[in-house]
Amino acid sequence: MNQILGHNYIGGARSAAGQTRLQSVDASSGEALPHDFIQATAEEVDAAAKAAAAAYPAYRSLSAVRRAEFLEAIADELDALGDEFVAVVCRETALPAARIQGERGRTSGQMRLFAKVLRRGDFYGARIDRALPERTPLPRPDLRQYRIGLGPVAVFGASNFPLAFSTAGGDTASALAAGCPVVFKAHSGHMATAEHVADAIIRAAEKTAMPAGVFNMIYGGGVGEWLVKHPAIQAVGFTGSLKGGRALCDMAAARAQPIPVFAEMSSINPVIVLPQALETRAENIARDLTASVVQGCGQFCTNPGLVIGIRSPQFTAFTQQVAALIGDQAPQTMLNAGTLQSYGKGLQKLLAHPGIEHLAGREQQGNQAQPQLFKADASLLINGDEALQEEVFGPTTVFVEVADQAQLSAALNGLHGQLTATMIGEPADFERFSELTPLLEQKVGRILLNGYPTGVEVCDSMVHGGPYPATSDARGTSVGTLAIDRFLRPVCFQNYPDSLLPEPLKNANPLGIQRLVDGVPGREAL
């Protein structure tokens, strides 16, 4: 494994023109790690964006197979990062080795999944409407459409997934798959991890003869604004706080050429516990729900931050069961001091609210997060009180008891957009509460039955997105193969001779891909 240099990655070379030195820290002890990282200057950010722009024409013109080989090479390099690398990630994040090993596999796996998308060819979205010269009153020209990469993409790493939502994470993978060079802004919480992964990407780029500048990485606080405002950048991928994501959206919208920002931001992921389920298996639900709340110290964007049930003796007993379980949970170390501080502030807002009652959890103090349970009046949710709409990032959840089925729908209507919603129930519950699914479809990106949202499968069908403020654009996802759509745009060719058409649109269909021809899907040559 390469030694940490701490320099920015620009156009296939390393650069350290700045004077500001940054340090990563041990998440458990707060001790500074023995590496300096040089914050990028405005000139270096400019150079990184220009390097990506210079790489774009050559990179996007490569065949999908060549890009797939690049992604597969990245996956191989990631898999080759061994125990020493895992130890670095654990030290920077306080996450356990088993979690990091699993996340490394997920990260390489999604690279290989996007390679399959490229080899499949459906991402082109090829459509052909052949000329109808005899049509009256007007003939139809020959029209053919496919999709190309937007151009250079700025990607911001997440704090809570140092691999899967970071340097080589889903945003980077889908942008590279789309034919878009990347400028990655490393997260300050795990810069050493980012450097080792960036080295792996560069090794893969060199082995597969990718153009210099296909991947660039910069360090530093405040450099993101320069990046988002740079005219070469054509889209932004972000995972983080609502405040940070909204700031990037506003910057991008204020540019002379506004660009899309695909930001995954804030979600409280309601869990609705229905009556029959409580009558049959309340104890198991209480145990599994508690485990989901505290898993990974609650540092998941799909952490269940709100639990809703209908008033009954069973729901009262269930609340007491969860309170006892939460009270028995041990404190955990969070990703970094900033995350712990934010968690403490979020708890203070809940504790100070007159309509919210603290049910369980030790007083928050020291350098670890204490799991907590609260109960809020249903009127707060129905009336859109901000205290119940804001994500508290950590091992805490809020119970809400509604009076009846009608008030349950009213409470759900009061919710802002979410990544997920979960219904825990029996078949009779789902029949009785059939109105909930169409209601939740308008509120969330993924609806679960009898499961828990802290787990996001990387596959073709997954949606990890949702209406604002869960994301800035509810039409996409940051997990799964549909994520590539965010970084593609359609181009139409009218009356082009076959010799000048791109391969996906040629009559012979040399790529053998699925195409829509005169409204009929098929792979046949024309």
> Judging by DSSP bridges, how do beta strands 418-424 and 444-449 pair with one another?
parallel
Question: SS3 for 237?
Answer: strand
d(CA 488, CA 126): 13
DSSP string, 87-156: HHHHHHH---HHHHHHHHHHHHHHHHHHHHHHHH-GGG--EEE--BTT-SSSPBPPEEEEEEE-S-EEEE
Q: Which residue has the tokens 């949710």?
A: 381
Peptide bond preceding 469: is omega within 30 degrees of 0, i.e. cis? yes
Q: For tokens 């937007």, what's the residue?
A: 150
Secondary structure percentages of the chain, helix, strand, coil, to 5: 40, 20, 40
Given a contact cutoff of 8 angstroms between Cβ atoms, the answer to whether 313 and 277 are in contact is no
Catalytic positions, please? Answer: 264, 301
Torsion of CA 93, 96, 101, 107, to 10 degrees: -40
- Measured distance CA(328)–CA(325) in Å, rounded: 5
Go through the chain and tell me how many residues it has. Answer: 526
Q: What is the DSSP string of 55-85?
A: HHHHHHHS-HHHHHHHHHHHHHHHHT--HHH
3-class secondary structure, 325:
helix
Please enumerate in sequence order all residues whose Cβ is within 8 A of that of 321, keeping only pairs 6 or more positions apart, or say none: 282, 283, 286
The candidate with the shortest Cα–Cα distance to 447, out of 469, 473, 429, 465, is: 465
Contact criterion met (CB below 8 Å) for 156 and 224: yes
What single DSSP character describes residue 453? S
Q: How many other CB atoms are there within 10 angstroms of residue 13's CB atom?
A: 14
Q: Which stretches within 154-310 are classed as H helix? A: 170-178, 191-207, 223-229, 242-254, 275-294
CA distance 49 to 482: 26
Q: How many CB atoms lie within 10 A of CB 73?
A: 21
Longest Cα–Cα distance in the chain: 80
Of residues 94, 103, 96, 73, the one with CA closest to residue 479: 103
Question: Interhelix angle for 83-93 vs 97-120, to 10°?
Answer: 110
